[in-house]
Amino acid sequence: MMKELTDLRIELSKALQQLAQLSDAADSMSAEEYEKQYEALSDRIGALNQQIEEHLNANSGQREQREKVPLKNTKDSAQSNRAISQLIITPLNPPRNSVVGICSATFYNALTVNGITINVNRNNEIYVRMPQKRTQQGRYIDVAHPLTREGRENINHTILSAFRQGVNRQRFEVAVPLSVAAQNSVKYPPEYGNSLARMDLVVNDMVVHNAKIIRGKNGEPHLVMPTYKSKDGEYVSICNPANKKAFAVFSEKAMEEFNTEYHYFTLDDSTVAELSENGVKAEVHQIAGDSNVVKVKPADVEKVNAIINPTQNLAPKA
């Protein structure tokens, strides 16, 4: 059984690598061809995960646990999990450097994040690290992460509680409605070729950075989830839609963001504060002193102009 389990994990690794290579080759494919191959690989990955789960359950004799079943160790038990719908943990024995476990977590039955690690520090304390990439400046940044401290604590407690108890696979009932948005889009100049834009995808309180819009060979733009080159020179897929429905929602929101023609203003700090007070949602980038470049949607332009030039909106005297 152990040999079969190892083979399954190798197949899963290859399938994830193929998914990353598919994303890298997206600019030479039509949107229909890309989606067809993406769905086939996603189904393959799901089937492999299911087979791995069956082996793990048969080997450990542990039944799949759900959120409503209390964890055995009350001291280390997770807070009520509100985000992770499925968790897969692969313990590393012996550890690799400071990494003692690798996780794949699906959030809100929609977003799967691979490459989450369980690390041990010098004091022999374990902690969770979200997947990271190295920037051109040499800094490491999270590829996907929760937006709130509460969200991060929830992830830490859920993963560490399962790891301490030796539970390699768990499913949770997550009743939170799915909310997806795309934001912070940056459109590339023509010299970038078929790479059209990058943006962030926000799935409830999780954010995925550097999702891209790529032009396929038929000229149609479509969404590509972020992939990164590993130290071995291979492309690794870190974040993926968990199913076809999620992929469709992510694509719809990404294309809405890509097709939105934003308006830009240069405003001082006090005017930016007024925008917030009047309910205008804006993306703000400080450029010098109290001067800011402010990005707003077309629907808010009239309101911004009214704040900038209030006298122009006064009714004429009779």
pLDDT in tens, 30-79: 666 766 676 677 667 666 766 665 665 555 443 333 222 333 333 333 44
More confident residue, 195 or 288: 195
Nearest-angstrom CA–CA distance, 1 and 41: 25
How does pLDDT run across 256-277, given as a tens digit for each residue? 999 988 888 888 889 989 988 8
How does pLDDT run across 132-141, given as a tens digit for each residue? 887 777 778 8
Short-list 236, 228, 24, 20, CA closest to 141: 228
Residue 167 confidence class, pLDDT cut points 50, 70, 90:
confident
- Measured from the Cβ of residue 184, the count of other Cβ atoms closer than 10 Å reads 14
Mean pLDDT of 246-263: 91
Confidence at residue 62, expressed as pLDDT on a 0 to 100 scale:
39
Torsion-angle region of 193 (φ positive above 0: left; ψ -120 to 50: alpha; else: beta): left
What is the widest separation between alpha-carbon atoms in the chain?
90
Mark out the alpha helices in the chain (DSSP H runs): 2-24, 31-60, 149-165, 244-259, 269-277, 301-308
Torsion-angle region of 64 (φ positive above 0: left; ψ -120 to 50: alpha; else: beta): beta
Residue 174 has pLDDT above 60, yes or no: yes
Short-list 56, 52, 54, 57, CA closest to 15: 52
| φ/ψ (deg, to 5) at 218 | -90, 5
SS3 161: helix
Report yes or no: 79 and 67 within 8 Å, Cβ to Cβ: no
Q: How far apart are the first and last CA of the chain?
A: 90
Confidence at residue 253, expressed as pLDDT on a 0 to 100 scale:
95
Report yes or no: 282 and 297 within 8 Å, Cβ to Cβ: no
Nearest-angstrom CA–CA distance, 156 and 174: 17
Residue 318 confidence class, pLDDT cut points 50, 70, 90:
very low
Residue 148 has pLDDT above 80, yes or no: yes
How does pLDDT run across 189-205, given as a tens digit for each residue? 888 888 899 999 999 99
